[in-house]
């Protein structure tokens, strides 16, 4: 049976940079279901051929040396286009006609991918349903929704309601591209396919956890969007909380979408609600110097481009263990890493190297999500021929060491899963709303009139000074290390 992916908002950047290159790579590797076709839908008036030509150039650019003319030509035969406006119901009737022409049977699997501006999510799902395109009477129908899903808890809730008027929850796939990253999936494997980590993965052995998503890039051309979003909406509500959930969750009974998501949701439910004062003490934020000059950014903007927050998970496993989440643009290097900082040994036999930094000598598991995909275990060893002097050593695992070729882009597994009806790597409705419940209080606290001024930081470092001080005042320090790329 054939599969169709209908991309709404097809002329946008995401389609040419991510979706088509991912679909083409899957096709080349023989991973797409047989007879998969792509139908683009957006306002620009392309013919099938004109859209294919445009995609040929962009795919070549984004796939790089994996592009092969013959396989692309073969794949491009399955790409179609229909001009259409999401605001116009008649264009959805035309979509029904076009689909009937290109599909071999109405029973085929169909995935609608919303690659539009977020304000079109609601009209898109509503018009798809009104045109009879959401009904599963003849075959599976799914909808993939990009981030951002709402701008706070209330808007996410309203969007969920609109989506549920059109589609049943089992048809809805909310994307967080971090879940498509190989190293994020490997975090679940590390935790749940090995017996040695579980006994120490708790408050008895772990002092704290640091989750950092640092980006060297600045806001660039995205100032218009970013200035109304800021780092908490852009990175924390989705990517950082996803990493936190996978780090902190209990093992699901089986690797099945709802069982996995039930466990993740339990983590969100256990995150402690903070009082006004606690919110102030539990976060720092900053804005890089030069942000106010970016195009699309208000001259007096207080939008943070850096933030760090401290969260507590009130359950048996994590009671008393702070989870530090941090992300920023204009940082020293691009690195996404989870640092599991173990407690220091209870008694020092060999003399403490640095009594002012209690964690310098303690074990650390550094899970590198990107770009240096891998895991390092830091542990003490003896300096060779150095008496009983100690040094911090490292066991180093490189994720791609036995893989041939590049690691797939995150969109590849996600598109495969959406076509196959496998939802484990997608966010459920309760999950996105609960994630907003964690973020909304910080947003409100920062928006308050008496909230302190935002600190400026120089691009190229580790964020504002207050971030370092804040950690130091808690007797801890950030793991500010750029990964070594081999
Ligand atoms: C996006 C954010 O969701 O993720 C961007 O909107 C950010 O601001 C990007 O740059 C980071 O993704 P990745 O995969 O490069 O870490």
Task: Say what the pLDDT of residue 302 is.
Answer: 95
CB 146 less than 6 A from any atom of ligand 1: no
Question: What is the spatial distance between Cα 137 and Cα 19, in angstroms, rounded to a whole number?
Answer: 28
Do residues 261 and 243 make contact, with C-beta atoms less than 8 angstroms apart? Answer: no
Nearest alpha carbon, ligand 1 atom 10: 215
Residue-wise pLDDT for 428-466, tens only, equals: 999 999 999 999 999 999 998 888 889 999 999 999 999
Q: How far is CA 283 from the centre of its chain?
A: 21
Question: What is the spatial distance between Cα 202 and Cα 395, in angstroms, rounded to a whole number?
Answer: 21
Q: Where in the chain is the domain with CATH 3.30.360.10?
A: 179-473
Do residues 149 and 156 make contact, with C-beta atoms less than 8 angstroms apart? Answer: yes
Nearest alpha carbon, ligand 1 atom 15: 215
Residue-wise pLDDT for 213-228, tens only, equals: 999 999 999 999 999 9
Structure tokens at 171: 């048809």
Q: Which atom of ligand 1 is nearest to the CA of 370?
A: 16
Expressed in angstroms and rounded, the spacing between residue 371 Cα and the centre of ligand 1 is 13
Structure tokens at 133: 């395109």
**Which residues does the annotation mark as catalytic?**
239
Count of Cβ atoms closer than 10 Å to residue 72 Cβ:
18
Question: What is the spatial distance between Cα 24 and Cα 316, in angstroms, rounded to a whole number?
Answer: 46
Burial profile 326-347: b = 16 or more Cβ within 10 angstroms, e = fewer? bbbbbbbbbbbbbbbbbbbeee
Question: What is the spatial distance between Cα 372 and Cα 486, in angstroms, rounded to a whole number?
Answer: 8
Expressed in angstroms and rounded, the spacing between residue 375 Cα and the centre of ligand 1 is 22
Nearest alpha carbon, ligand 1 atom 5: 234
Expressed in angstroms and rounded, the spacing between residue 234 Cα and the centre of ligand 1 is 8
Task: Say what the pLDDT of residue 402 is.
Answer: 73
Nearest alpha carbon, ligand 1 atom 6: 234
Expressed in angstroms and rounded, the spacing between residue 239 Cα and the centre of ligand 1 is 8
Question: What is the spatial distance between Cα 98 and Cα 91, in angstroms, rounded to a whole number?
Answer: 10
Task: Say what the pLDDT of residue 356 is.
Answer: 45
Task: Say what the pLDDT of residue 187 is.
Answer: 97
Task: Say what the pLDDT of residue 285 is.
Answer: 97
Which of 177, 178, 180, 296 best tests ligand 1's pocket when mutated (most atoms within 8 Å of CB)? 177
Q: Which atom of ligand 1 is nearest to the CA of 177?
A: 14
Task: Say what the pLDDT of residue 204 is.
Answer: 98
Q: Where in the chain is the domain with CATH 3.40.50.720?
A: 3-146
Which of 118, 211, 215, 225 best tests ligand 1's pocket when mutated (most atoms within 8 Å of CB)? 215
Residue-wise pLDDT for 227-242, tens only, equals: 999 999 999 999 999 9
* Residue whose pair of structure tokens reads 């940082």 in the numeric block: 331
Instruction: Give pLDDT < 70 ranges for the chain.
Output: 352-360
Nearest alpha carbon, ligand 1 atom 13: 178
Q: State the sign of the Cα–Cα–Cα–Cα dihedral 194, 197, 199, 203.
A: negative
CB 234 less than 6 A from any atom of ligand 1: yes
Q: Which atom of ligand 1 is nearest to the CA of 239?
A: 3
Expressed in angstroms and rounded, the spacing between residue 148 Cα and the centre of ligand 1 is 11
Task: Say what the pLDDT of residue 403 is.
Answer: 75
Expressed in angstroms and rounded, the spacing between residue 114 Cα and the centre of ligand 1 is 18
Q: At what angle are helices 182-192 and 241-248 packed, to 10 degrees?
A: 20
Q: Which atom of ligand 1 is nearest to the CA of 222?
A: 8
Architecture label for domain 3-146: 3-Layer(aba) Sandwich (3.40)
Expressed in angstroms and rounded, the spacing between residue 118 Cα and the centre of ligand 1 is 16
CB 215 less than 6 A from any atom of ligand 1: yes
Nearest alpha carbon, ligand 1 atom 8: 234
Do residues 380 and 393 make contact, with C-beta atoms less than 8 angstroms apart? Answer: yes
Which of 17, 227, 234, 414 best tests ligand 1's pocket when mutated (most atoms within 8 Å of CB)? 234
Q: Which atom of ligand 1 is nearest to the CA of 178?
A: 14
Question: What is the spatial distance between Cα 141 and Cα 161, in angstroms, rounded to a whole number?
Answer: 18
Task: Say what the pLDDT of residue 452 is.
Answer: 82
Nearest alpha carbon, ligand 1 atom 2: 234
**Three-class SS string for the chain?**
CCEEEEEECCCCHHHHHHHHHHHHHHHHCCCCCCCEEEEEEECCCCCHHHHHHHHHHHHHHHHHHHCCHHHHHHHHCCEEEEECCCCCHHHHHHHHHHHHHHCCCCCCEEEEEECCCHHHHHHHHHHHHHCCCCCCCCCCEEEEECCCCCCCHHHHHHHHHHHHHHCCHHHEEECCHHHHCHHHHHHHHHHHCCCCCHHHCCCCCEEEEEEEEECCCCCHHHHHHHHHHHHHHHHHHHHHHHHHHHHHCCCCCCCCHHHHHHHHHHHHHHECCCCHHHHHHCEEEEEECCHHHCCCCCCCCCCCCEEEEEEEECCCCCCCCEEEEEEECCECCCEEEEEEEECCCCCCCCCCCCCCCCCCCCCEEEEEEECCCEEEEEEEEECCCECECEEEEEEEEECCCCCCCCCCCCHHHHHHHHHHCCCCCCECHHHHHHHHHHHHHHHHHHHCCCCCCCEEECCCECCCHHHHHHHHHCCCCCCCCCCCCC
Please tell me the CATH code under which domain 179-473 is placed: 3.30.360.10
Nearest alpha carbon, ligand 1 atom 14: 178
Expressed in angstroms and rounded, the spacing between residue 376 Cα and the centre of ligand 1 is 24
Question: What is the spatial distance between Cα 406 and Cα 388, in angstroms, rounded to a whole number?
Answer: 43
């Amino acid at each position: 049976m054939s599969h169709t992916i209908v991309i709404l908002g097809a002329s946008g950047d995401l389609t040419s940079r991510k979706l088509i290159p991912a679909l083409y790579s899957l096709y080349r590797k023989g991973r797409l279901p047989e007879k998969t076709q792509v139908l683009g839908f957006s306002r620009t008036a392309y013919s099938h051929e004109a859209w294919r030509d445009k995609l040929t150039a962009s795919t070549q650019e984004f796939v790089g040396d994996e592009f092969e003319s013959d396989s692309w030509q073969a794949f491009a035969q399955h790409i179609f286009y229909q001009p259409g406006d999401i605001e116009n119901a008649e264009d959805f009737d035309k979509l029904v006609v076009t689909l009937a022409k290109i599909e071999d049977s109405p029973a085929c699997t169909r995935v609608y991918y919303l690659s539009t501006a977020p304000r079109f999510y609601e009209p898109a799902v509503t018009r798809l349903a009104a045109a009879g395109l959401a009904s599963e009477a003849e075959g599976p129908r799914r909808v993939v929704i990009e981030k951002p899903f709402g701008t706070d808890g209330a808007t996410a809730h309203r969007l969920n309601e609109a989506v549920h008027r059109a589609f049943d929850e089992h048809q809805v796939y909310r994307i967080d591209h971090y879940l498509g990253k190989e190293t994020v999936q490997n975090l679940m494997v590390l935790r749940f396919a090995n017996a040695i980590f579980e006994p120490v993965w708790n408050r008895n052995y772990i002092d704290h956890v640091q989750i950092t998503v640092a980006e060297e890039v600045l806001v660039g051309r995205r100032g218009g969007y970013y200035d109304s979003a800021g780092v908490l909406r852009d990175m924390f509500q989705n990517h950082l909380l996803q990493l936190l959930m996978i780090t902190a969750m209990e093992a699901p009974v089986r690797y099945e979408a709802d069982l996995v998501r039930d466990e993740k949701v339990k983590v969100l439910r256990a995150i402690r609600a903070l009082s006004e004062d606690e919110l102030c003490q539990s976060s720092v934020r900053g804005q890089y110097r030069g942000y106010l000059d970016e195009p699309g950014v208000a001259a007096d903007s207080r939008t943070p481009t850096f933030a760090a927050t401290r969260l507590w998970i009130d359950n048996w496993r994590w009671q008393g263990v702070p989870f530090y989440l941090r992300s920023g643009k204009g940082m020293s290097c691009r690195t996404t890493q989870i640092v599991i900082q173990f407690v220091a040994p209870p008694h020092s036999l060999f003399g403490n190297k640095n009594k002012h930094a209690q964690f310098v000598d303690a074990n650390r598991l550094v899970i590198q999500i990107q770009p240096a995909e891998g895991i390092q275990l830091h542990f003490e060893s003896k300096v060779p021929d150095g008496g009983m002097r100690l040094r911090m050593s490292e066991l180093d695992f490189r994720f791609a060491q036995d893989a041939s070729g590049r690691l797939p882009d995150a969109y590849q597994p996600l598109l495969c899963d959406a076509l196959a009806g496998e939802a484990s790597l997608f966010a459920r409705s309760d999950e996105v709303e609960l994630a907003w419940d964690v973020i909304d209080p910080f947003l409100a606290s920062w928006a308050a009139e008496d909230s302190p001024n935002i600190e400026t930081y120089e691009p190229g470092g580790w964020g504002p000074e207050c971030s370092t001080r804040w950690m130091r005042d808690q007797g801890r320090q950030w793991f500010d290390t750029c990964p070594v790329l081999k």
